[in-house]
Amino acid sequence: MKGKYLLSISIIVLSIMMLTGCSRKEKGRFYNDEYNFSIVFPKYWEIQQKEMGTAVVALSPEEGIRDEFRENVAITIEEVSGDSTLKKYFELSQKNLKSYSKDYRLLYKNNTWLARKPAMILGFTYTMSGLKLKVLQYYCLYKNKVYVITCTALPHSFDRYEETFLKIVRSFRFEK
């Protein structure tokens, strides 16, 4: 009888520890409770929330006084209707990009996965505020929201940041 009692207590204690452990947040991981996602940004990057229509944007450290652009990763989320598809959203997004950038150029577009969900990846260049930029962008439709992760750098520095961008994107996950 005493053995069953100890076993029962042990199971209860372990269950409580597991449940509280599951809700614990990982150190170094950025959590957005409003949109139920998390992501890991490099340690020394500046994180800004709800800036210019984003859920979050992470900016690379300045590289000196002549640094003309801070490479960044921005996440935007847009609620869509139940009949929306990733393809429809992507096509509308491309139309909008082309309309506000006279030199928008699509470099590639492919189907992929993001956080174990179907996604689209694309690369493109365009000019914003007189700066030519190169972009890696992911689109993912999840629970009637489109999550867009945009990684942006100057064309000449993009290759230096590409592995960092990919590492950040691979760390993205949905929390609910």
Q: pLDDT tens digits for 56-108? A: 999 999 988 888 899 999 999 999 988 889 999 989 988 888 888 879 999 99
**Domain ranges, ordered by start, for the chain:** 25-174
Q: 140, 146 in Cβ contact below 8 A?
A: yes
Which sign, positive or negative, has the C-alpha torsion 38, 28, 133, 131?
positive
What does the block give as tokens for 43?
Answer: 């340690």
pLDDT of residue 1: 52
* C-alpha dihedral, 29 to 34 to 36 to 38, nearest 10°: -20
Buried b (16+ CB within 10 A) or exposed e, 15-49: eeeeeeeeeeeeeeebebeebebbbbbeeebeeee
β-bridge partners, 109:
122
What does the block give as tokens for 1?
Answer: 């009888």
β-bridge partners, 147:
77, 140
Q: Poorest-confidence range of 32-36, 94-98, 152-156?
A: 94-98
Q: Which CATH number fits domain 25-174: 3.40.1000.10, 3.40.640.10, 3.40.50.10860, 3.40.50.150?
A: 3.40.1000.10
User: Does 13 score more than 50 pLDDT?
Assistant: no
pLDDT of residue 23: 54
Q: pLDDT tens digits for 106-145? A: 999 999 999 999 999 999 999 988 899 999 999 999 999 9
pLDDT of residue 114: 97
